[in-house]
Chain A
Amino acid sequence: MNCTDILSRAQALAVELKAQARATDDGGLSAEQVMALAEAGLLEPADPAVVMEVGRALGQGCGASAWLATAFASASAAVQRDPDLATIVGAGRVTLGGVPDEQTLNLVDGQIRLSGVWPSVGGLDHAEWILLSGLSWEGAPVCALVSVGDATASAYPHRGGLRGLVWRRVALADAPVHLLSVGDEGRGDPGRQALLLGALVGVAHGAYADYVGSTRARISGVGGQAVAQFTQVQARLAESHAELKAADALYDEVLGHTADGQADTAECDRDRAYIARKAVEAVNRLLGQMGAMGLAETNPVQRRFRDLRALASTPRLDWTAQAPAFGRHELGL
């Protein structure tokens, strides 16, 4: 299966996932949906640029699916770098864990064991393994691979974004783990967080398309006028479109650097975070034009905005963190 095939399949599946997105948000991604992603080959790509593009295509339909495909593919690729771990994992699916609230790594009877709490792990219901980050062993940053069976997962009330991933709080108590050294692309998660940019851009475009479709037909609840006729609505739409267009241009450049293996630079970090910032601003502006109907969970723009915020809070895509980092780089610090 070549890259064009994979993207065609992702685009086709995105249409189906979009139709199911409300139910996914309410009940989580189903086994059938994840199976469809797997059968389309969307959980396997090892090429970072392809992973981004798959995320972008899927994100236009469903943010949770785009996150899951990106996370599973990138976690799998990270594990495959280590032949021993690849053997251990076999055909099992791996999801990514975030930063722990607390953690300790210990050597017990020759086996490395991990205790700690990871407050939010997505996609756990569809994975056999979790790749946990934010750890260090003998002074070096590492990730830990742990079997889902050795973890205690608990649900918690989550009303924020990417609900289809059914976020869980994961606790480990002296669980046996396999360590994976963090590669040169790694900061936090095994260097793959940055690939979520594709999903983020896809979600933003999905929100824009949903907003345009809705606004074309919308009649003002007070006054009964066609909302599309309002000049300020037209002007705000143009501003958001221009922002997304600029974000697209930067995205294409970052994608090119990713394909060339040259995306782990301060400038790319800055651009990824700036794209995320512009995308959030663009969709936030559109949502603000929707008035009280923008609150409704049945409103796809509302759902996509939640998903977008969750994606934009990924550390590698966070402007607050990346802007001063670029400044330090430019100033030689």
Chain B
Amino acid sequence: MSGLQMNYAPIRSRQGELVEAAESLGDVLKARACDAELNRRLSPETMADLFANGLLGYFVPARFGGSELDWGAQIHIGRALAHHCGSTAWIGGVVGSHALYIGRMDPRAQDDVWGAGANVLVSTGSVMRDVTVETLAGGYRLSGRWSFCSGVDHASWALLRASPSGDHRQSYFLIPRADFAIEDDWFVSSMSGSGSKSVLVKDVFIPDYRVLSMADMMAPSPPGAQANAHYLYSGSFRPFSGSNLMGPILGGAEAVLFEFERMMATGEGGVDASDVQWQLTYAEAAAEISAAEQLINLMIRTQTRYGSVGLPIPKAERIAVVRDRTYAARLCLNGATRLVTGLSADSVLKDAPIQRMFRDLQGMMQQIGVNWDRNMINCAKASLDMNTDIPELNAD
């Protein structure tokens, strides 16, 4: 056995275990999905299951008891969870991955978050309103309101973006639960169980070591690198950002496909398996979702191939990452839309799981990370060496 294989075998094995654990929770998560939607948050039991199975600790540094897995783990886990509940997938595959950001911050901030244990959820907020940042000796005073903080009911910390300089240069501010309030404003038609409520902060002092500029967060050798050697904490992070959504999106589309297969077998929803048009619909949707899977796997391979050895991803491949993930997301939505469009009115109106699965997928597609117009326009600009709104596309 080569040294390379010896190094990587345990990592692969742990990721496989976690994906298996995510799938094994399927029946439980499916049974709770409706309540999660109605309660507009995941249940404490679901959070306990995620923590107990390590499904939120894959990017927690090993020195705190986390799994410290390679890039892509969050996408595979998010995909597996989405087969059963879109909101759980969002918390598991997207919010859970934010541990990476903490692992890149000052080691004292990491101690604050994980010193008492690795089972900690950090909710993030980037869409802000009425934010003020005052620079003080040894830290900052922060006030404002941040929207779309997924899983915040279960979070012990919030990682919020704001600009100390008042311009576009933003920083991350890490704030303990005691220092922020939650505004119950999450009344949505999809991804309701993600509990993405707003966070209110009023005149809170944040020490310097719990603040990190976005530029430093994204650059190689951030403060956390002195404690965590893994490339995800020590290398450039720009090429990785914006891709976490793909696990829940792919899994969400597959959930619709799997449910449709079940309906074909039972004849529910007016689906007639012997009808050629349904057969064509099914085959085309399956092909679209399968193509999306291949594009997402290619994206992960590209990001990991360069990131794991500390090499910058060439510009052409960075463009391809953004373009292909956006196209993969569109394929997922197109495939799922194709499947649900012809279902009988009862499937739209009654409490059939497929309608929630589809609504959740539509909600995920509203995220800016997979916004077709924004990403495609910027990819075109980058290809023509024009300046873009997506930082990772601008550098050579």
Candidate in A169, A288, A303, A324 with the most chain B CB atoms within 10 angstroms: A288
Chain A contacts of B343 at CB under 8 A?
Answer: 313
Q: A191: CB under 8 A from chain B?
A: no
B133 to chain A, nearest CB (A): 16
Let me know if A295 and B350 touch, CB within 8 A.
Answer: no
Chain B contacts of A288 at CB under 8 A?
Answer: 365-366, 372
A157 to B34 CA separation, bound complex (whole angstroms): 8
Chain A contacts of B365 at CB under 8 A?
Answer: 288
A162 to B348 CA separation, bound complex (whole angstroms): 10
Let me know if A320 and B342 touch, CB within 8 A.
Answer: yes
Q: A89: CB under 8 A from chain B?
A: no
Which residue in B38, B342, B348 is a CB contact (below 8 Å) of A309? B348
Let me know if A222 and B281 touch, CB within 8 A.
Answer: no
Let me know if A167 and B348 touch, CB within 8 A.
Answer: no
Stretch at the interface among B184-192, B208-216, B290-298: B184-192
Chain A residue at minimal CB-CB distance from B337: A284
**Residue tally, chain B, CB below 8 Å to A:** 43
Q: B127: CB under 8 A from chain A?
A: yes
Interface size class of A (residues with CB under 8 A): 35 or more
Given A99-B346, A313-B344, are A306 and B189 also a contact pair (CB < 8 Å)? yes
B128 to chain A, nearest CB (A): 8
Let me know if A232 and B377 touch, CB within 8 A.
Answer: yes
A19 to B359 CA separation, bound complex (whole angstroms): 26
A119 to B344 CA separation, bound complex (whole angstroms): 12
Which residue in B187, B192, B374 is a CB contact (below 8 Å) of A298? B187
A232 to B363 CA separation, bound complex (whole angstroms): 21
B376 to chain A, nearest CB (A): 9
Chain B residue at minimal CB-CB distance from A26: B187
Given contacts A119-B350, A288-B365, A313-B343, 11 further A-B contacts (CB under 8 A): A119-B346, A120-B346, A167-B350, A169-B350, A232-B373, A291-B366, A292-B147, A292-B148, A295-B191, A297-B187, A313-B345
A-B contacts, 30 of them at CB < 8 A, read A98-B346, A98-B349, A99-B270, A99-B344, A119-B350, A120-B349, A156-B350, A157-B38, A159-B192, A159-B359, A160-B348, A160-B355, A162-B349, A222-B368, A232-B377, A291-B371, A292-B368, A295-B188, A297-B188, A303-B189, A306-B189, A310-B349, A313-B344, A313-B349, A314-B345, A315-B270, A315-B345, A319-B342, A320-B277, A321-B342
Binding site for A on B (CB under 8 A): 34, 37-38, 126-128, 147-148, 168, 187-192, 270, 277, 281, 341-351, 355-356, 359, 363, 365-368, 371-374, 377, 389
